[in-house]
Amino acid sequence: MKLHEIVETLALTVRAGRRSLDTEVTGGYAADLLSCAMAGAEPGNLWLTLQGHLNVVAVATLNELAGVIVTEGKPVSPDALAKADEEGLPILTTTLGTFEVAGRLWALLGATR
């Protein structure tokens, strides 16, 4: 499933990396620990986290993730947004919690597999 379809279905707010929304999403990964995301998330995954700082962008781009969803309405720092735009990494936000986003994402991606 394409990232922009997920953005529309889950009504996510696109905060950065708008030009890369046509990426195929291969799965999801949820964790707030960067080392876990580094080791556990696969290229093309969407990463669900509460973290909204610059280092999230570094981990996501090194790992070639499809994008980052910052949940629970947690803030994303302006330098993270600027870097994400530069790298073409979509940063999406929502007021929904990680549990709910993960559940809905699971249902969406499960249906296309």
Partner 1 sequence: MSPTEVLKAQELVYELRIGDIMSRRLVTVTADTTMREVKTILRDRRISGLPVLDGGNLAGIVSIEDLIRSLEENDLDALAGQYMTTLVHTIGEREPAVRALNVFGRLGVGRLPVVDDEGRLVGIMTPDDITRGVLRALEKAYHEEEIRRYRARHVFDDIKSDRTSLILRYDIPLRDFNRAGRASSQIKQTLNRLGVDPRIVRRVAIASYEAEMNIVIHSVAGGNLVAEINPELIALLAYDTGPGIPDIEKAMTPGYSTAPDWIREMGFGAGMGLCNIKACVDQMDLNSWPRQGTRLEAVIYLKPTEGKASDEAA
How many angstroms separate the CA atoms of 91 and 56, rounded?
Answer: 10
27 touches partner 1 (CB under 8 A): no
Least spacing, CB of residue 6 vs partner 1, in Å: 17
Least spacing, CB of residue 36 vs partner 1, in Å: 6
The pair of structure tokens assigned to 4 is 């922009």
Cα–Cα distances in angstroms (integers) from residue 19 to residues 5, 87, 88, 111, in the given order? 14, 10, 7, 26
**Of 33, 49, 28, which is closest to residue 97 (Cα–Cα)?**
49
**Binding to partner 1 (CB under 8 A): which residues in 32-91?**
32-36, 38-40, 43, 49, 51, 53-56, 58-59, 61-64, 79, 88
24 touches partner 1 (CB under 8 A): yes
Q: Considering beta carbons, is residue 19 or 113 the nearer one to partner 1?
A: 19
Query: Measured on CA atoms in the order 89, 64, 95, 101, is the torsion positive or negative?
Result: positive
In the complex, which residues of this chain contact partner 1 (CB under 8 A)?
A: 18-20, 22-24, 32-36, 38-40, 43, 49, 51, 53-56, 58-59, 61-64, 79, 88
